[in-house]
Every structure is written in C-alpha cells, then in structure tokens.
Amino acid sequence: MSELSIITGKSSYDIARRVSKKMKANLVRSQIRVFADGESKITLSGKISERKSIVVQSIYPPVDTNLIHALSLISKAKETSSEVIAVIPYMGYARQDREFLSGEIVTMKVLGKLFRGAGASKIIVVDIHSKIGLGHFPIKTKNISAIPELVHHIRDLNLKDPLVISPDQGGKERAKEFAKELGSEYIALEKKRDRKTGKVQIKTKNLGEVANRDLILVDDMISTGGSIVKATQFLKKQKCRKVYVACTHALLMNDAEKRIRKAGVAKIISTNTIPGKTSIVDISKIIAKVI
C-alpha cells in the first residue's frame, strides 16, 4: 500500500489528480449520489493509506454541500490513516472571520471546531481572504500564495509599462507582493462598502500615473465582481490602456464575468482552486511542494 493517499472530493478532482501524479501518490476518488431531498451519499473507490491521507476539497458554491463533503471525507480517511491533512484550495466562509455587526456569528470559529472534530490535524489553504480566520482553528494551518504562479502567466502577456492595482486598501499588501514578483509598481484604490447593502463606491480621486499604461487589478477572490467593475470604470476614465484582472479564486456569481468584461476588462486570469473558464493557472505544483 502507498505511504500516501490523495482523497479527492468532486469540487477539486482536477487539482487532486495533478497533485497525486506529481507526488506519485495513490488517488482515491469519490462517487457522489444526491437523493431527491438534497442529501449526498459519498462512496470512495481506492485504497486509503494507513500512514497519511491528504483530503483535497474546495468549499465553493454550493458551499454547505461541499463543506459537508470535505468533513465526511476527512472523517472517513481518519478511520484508516493515522494522520489526515485537509487541503482546502478555496475556503468558503473565510469572510466571516469576525463580528462586523452586533449579533453576527463568526462562522470561521465553527469551521475550526468542525475540521478538528472530523479528524484533520492540519489545514492547507490557498490565499485565504483573511488570515484572522485561520487564527480560529485549533489545529495547524498553512496559507500558501498563488501569486508567483499568477505572475508567471501575466509575464507572458507582454504588457506595456504594467502597473499593479489593488481595488481597495485591504489588498494593498497583496498588490505590493504581486508587483515585487512582477518587477513593477503598484497602487491601491480607496473604496467604501456599505456593510448592510454591499454597495461599493470608489473614493480615490484622479490618478495621473495610470494614463497610457496596462493595468493589472489584483484580488484574492471575485464573487459578484462589484469592486472590480467599479474600479475598472474608474480606471478607464483615467485614460489607461488595457485592464487585466488576476485573482486566485474566481467565484464569478450571477453573471459577474459578463459584467466585468462589459466594464472594459480585457482578460480575467484565475487559478483552478475554483474550476471555470478563467481558471487557467494551475496551483497543484505549489500544493504538492507544501505537502
């Protein structure tokens, strides 16, 4: 029996397959049957290692279903393996890391208890929205960056005098890291989001430094695309050249991709933490390296 098993849920089969190939590990697949009431029945096919198992499962929509699948896979792996590591390329609920408004539940605290209870000894995530959230986990955690892989792809575009831009001040450090890797400058816009309605406004005034330059809007994740649309519309008025978007997790909910392109974005580049048309950057190499 192999010393290492890679157990894959439905949401991250491609990444798991690539990781198992790179590590020459035994791949254990999941067969999912969904009943009329919405319940899932999971059956594993393959041998689980007695020493160590790696469960690979992103928690993107349907978030609650993929979360239950992840926890079930971990629990099943723990029945055989002495050590179970959970690789969650996209961690759902990561934005619920603190109590923003009175009475809100900090769901990341709940997830930490659930993953430990299921049997995981360590969690590996990719570009989590907030590292504060990982502080709620009572087990070892590791957040890895997809920025080098994204930058490698951006370089192939041969951009003119590129400038890296964060759509908000919260992503300033990410933009700084991205720019350093690319060998370019960076700036961060100022935005204001209404915590109740979710409406976004750009507060930054005119920017002379973007004129006649190709821009790369960098973010960790794009959900509805509101921030990207507002930022692109603002930047287009500043007479920039092309606007590109680079992100790790492209959820692109409710026609977000269509609205982003309509705003003037030339190309959206994301990783395969969430499968989709824009997911052209493979992160299996960095996951395999960390494991």
| pLDDT cut 90: percent of the chain above it | 88
**C-alpha span between 179 and 165 (Å, rounded):** 9
Q: Could you report the per-residue pLDDT of 13-63, keeping only the tens digit for each?
A: 999 999 999 999 999 999 999 999 999 999 999 999 999 999 999 999 999
Tell whether 155 and 263 lie within a shared domain.
yes
Q: How many domains does the chain have?
A: 2
pLDDT at 273: 98
Which residue is associated with the tokens 């821009």? 215
Residue 96 sits in the same domain as residue 167:
no
- Beta-ladder partners of 31: 43
Same domain as 196, residue 248: yes
Task: Report yes or no on 34 lying in a domain.
Answer: yes
Cα 131 to the chain's mean position, in Å? 13
Q: Same domain for 155 and 139?
A: no
Q: Say what the pLDDT of residue 82 is.
A: 97
For residue 174, being part of any structural domain is answered with: yes
Residue 14: its pLDDT value, please? Answer: 97
CA distances to 213, 257, 271, 288 from 285, rounded to whole Å, are 32, 27, 12, 5
What's the alpha-carbon Rg for the chain, to the nearest Å? 20
Report, as an integer, the average pLDDT of 97-124. Answer: 96
**Single pTM value for the model:** 0.93
**pLDDT bucket at 191, cuts 50 / 70 / 90:** confident
pLDDT at 130: 86
Instruction: List, for residues 124-142, the tens digit of each pLDDT value.
Output: 999 999 889 999 999 999 9
Same domain as 137, residue 191: no
Catalytic residues: 191
Q: What is the pLDDT of residues 63-95, one digit of tens each?
A: 999 999 999 999 999 999 999 999 999 999 999
Predicted local confidence at residue 200, as pLDDT: 65
Looking up tokens 């052209």 gives 280
CATH number of the domain within which 52 lies:
3.40.50.2020
- Considering only CA atoms, which of 53, 54, 15, 13 is closest in space to residue 31? 13
Query: Is there a domain that residue 93 lies in?
Result: yes
Euclidean distance between CA atoms 26 and 285, whole angstroms: 17
Q: Do residue 11 and residue 135 come from a single domain? A: yes
Q: Is residue 278 part of a domain?
A: no
Q: In terms of domains, do 13 and 101 share one?
A: yes
For the chain, first and last CA: distance in Å?
A: 19
Are 89 and 118 in the same domain? yes
**Domain presence at residue 110:** yes
Query: What is the b/e burial string over 244-271, where b = at least 16 CB atoms within 10 angstroms of the residue's CB?
Result: bbbbbbbbbeeebbebbbebebeebbbb
Helices within the chain (DSSP H only): 13-23, 63-78, 107-118, 131-134, 147-155, 172-182, 226-236, 256-263, 284-290
Give domain status of residue 277, yes or no.
no
Regarding whether 35 and 98 lie in a shared domain, the answer is: yes
204 and 164 in a common domain: yes
Residues 96 and 228 in one domain: no
Domain assignment of residue 170, yes or no:
yes
Q: Is residue 118 in a domain?
A: yes
Could you tell me if 210 and 268 lie in one domain? Answer: yes
Give me the domain span that covers residue 85: 4-145+283-290
Instruction: Tell me if the bond preceding 61 is cis, omega within 30° of 0.
Output: no
The structure tokens listed for 88 are 């969650």
